[in-house]
Amino acid sequence: MKRPGIVFLDADTLGEVNGLYQLTKLGNLTVYQSTPHEQRIERVHGREIIISNKVIIDKEVMDACPTLKLICIAATGMNNVDLDYASQKGITVKNVAGYSTESVVQHTFSMLFYLMSNMRYYDDFVKQHKYADSLLFTHHGRPFQELAGKKYGIIGMGIIGKRIAAVAQAFGAEVYYYSASQKNLDTGYRRVSLNELLSECDIISIHCPLTDSTRDLIGYEQLRKMKKEALLINAGRGGIVNESDLAWALNESLIGGAGLDVLLKEPPDASNPLFHVSHPEKLLITPHIAWASVESRERLMEGIIANISAYLQKQ
């Protein structure tokens, strides 16, 4: 049986991960660390199987590459592939679902506790030798509170949202949620309107996809409804929170702080208003890494290998 041609178009998006070259057992593998938009066709041409995280695979690519039979998305989200046209062309498209749940949950709470416990302030206090110069064994410069007893609001009660709820509950928080899609309603947690979630909850974290109904879901008017000490975490998608409005709200101290792992444009422009807030200690931004624990990326690679193996077994 002829070995299929396999090309990974943007391997840099996975970083160093075990299992990448196990793909060589399945076919003739070519790996590109990244692929510019204008080089997509030449790199896909003649291959049967492609792997892509963010490279756009659209009608233009599919029409120009008649040997293409399987598109493996190195992610859960499938918005970089024209799924309808792939179906028309008889091209199979496979993603990997659920691989990053535990990583995203852990990162969400890492961001929350960093902000909630004023970790930046206390770390600076020690490293700037202020603690060494103190007469006390402790320091109470920035008060912090416990998660136990707080109201934790979740926007998006899918697989990740439910794990967030379970962890928040384990810490003693009372869980509320808002469903933008009106799905996943039988959860055992208290479902409320968006307005009630915003006004009642001490912490709000976002774990829903970016859709027409969630774009700019959280803007200035919504942020005004939140408690003054409330914390907002976005581990869903950039674009759900309006970044200019969030910067405005932080500058006016409308909320206690925010943690973002996702931005509208990634990487962001230096002109992004979030880089110029007057109280940067109230804002934590990480470079879209919530999904990317070592274990998560290994599970993703295992899922890609399994998808290719299943396809080949049917040939």
Span 113-170, pLDDT tens digits: 999 999 999 999 999 999 999 999 999 999 999 999 999 999 999 999 999 999 999 9
Q: Is 266 tagged catalytic?
A: yes
| Span of 1-5, 94-98, 152-156, 291-295 with lowest mean pLDDT | 1-5
Active-site entry in 191, 281, 288, 302: 288
- Spatial distance between the Cα atoms of 174 and 152, rounded to a whole number of angstroms: 6
Residue 213, SS3 per DSSP = coil
- Spatial distance between the Cα atoms of 289 and 229, rounded to a whole number of angstroms: 26
Predicted pLDDT at 59: 97
Predicted pLDDT at 309: 96
Backbone angles phi, psi at 92, to 5 degrees: -80, 135
- Spatial distance between the Cα atoms of 11 and 20, rounded to a whole number of angstroms: 9
Predicted pLDDT at 252: 97
Q: Is 288 tagged catalytic?
A: yes
- Spatial distance between the Cα atoms of 37 and 305, rounded to a whole number of angstroms: 25
**Can you tell me the mean pLDDT for 309-313?**
95
* 75 within 8 A of 36, measured Cβ to Cβ: no
Domains of the chain and CATH, by start: 5-97+295-313 (3.40.50.720), 101-285 (3.40.50.720)
Predicted pLDDT at 228: 97
- Spatial distance between the Cα atoms of 161 and 171, rounded to a whole number of angstroms: 15
**Can you tell me the mean pLDDT for 46-52?**
97
Joined tokens for residue 103: 């990583």
* 213 within 8 A of 245, measured Cβ to Cβ: no
Active-site entry in 237, 243, 297, 299: 237
Predicted pLDDT at 55: 97
**Can you tell me the mean pLDDT for 19-41?**
93
Active-site entry in 266, 276, 279, 295: 266
Question: Taking the alpha carbons of 126, 127, 128, 132 in that order, is the dihedral positive or negative?
Answer: positive
Q: Is 37 tagged catalytic?
A: no
**CA torsion angle for 154, 156, 160, 166 (degrees, to 10)?**
40
> Which residue did the predictor score with more confidence, 231 or 17?
231
**Can you tell me the mean pLDDT for 83-101?**
96
Backbone angles phi, psi at 43, to 5 degrees: -85, -25
Predicted pLDDT at 227: 98
Predicted pLDDT at 47: 97
1 pLDDT higher than 70: no
Provide, rounded to the nearest whole percent, the portion of the chain with pLDDT above 70.
99
* 139 within 8 A of 283, measured Cβ to Cβ: no
Rg of the Cα atoms in the chain: 22
Predicted pLDDT at 315: 83
Span 191-208, pLDDT tens digits: 999 999 999 999 999 999
Joined tokens for residue 28: 């003739």
- Spatial distance between the Cα atoms of 312 and 129, rounded to a whole number of angstroms: 61
**Can you tell me the mean pLDDT for 36-48?**
97
Joined tokens for residue 244: 């200019």
Mean of pLDDT over the chain: 95
Joined tokens for residue 31: 């790996």
**Can you tell me the mean pLDDT for 41-60?**
97
- β-sheet bridge partners, residue 6: 29, 49
20 pLDDT higher than 90: no
Q: How many helices (H) and strands (E) does the chain have?
A: 10, 12
Span 205-237, pLDDT tens digits: 999 999 899 999 999 999 999 999 999 999 999
- Spatial distance between the Cα atoms of 261 and 286, rounded to a whole number of angstroms: 5
Cis bond upstream, residue 267 (ω within 30)? yes
Alpha-helix runs per DSSP H in the chain: 40-44, 59-64, 83-89, 101-116, 119-127, 159-170, 194-200, 220-224, 243-251, 294-313
- Spatial distance between the Cα atoms of 242 and 177, rounded to a whole number of angstroms: 20
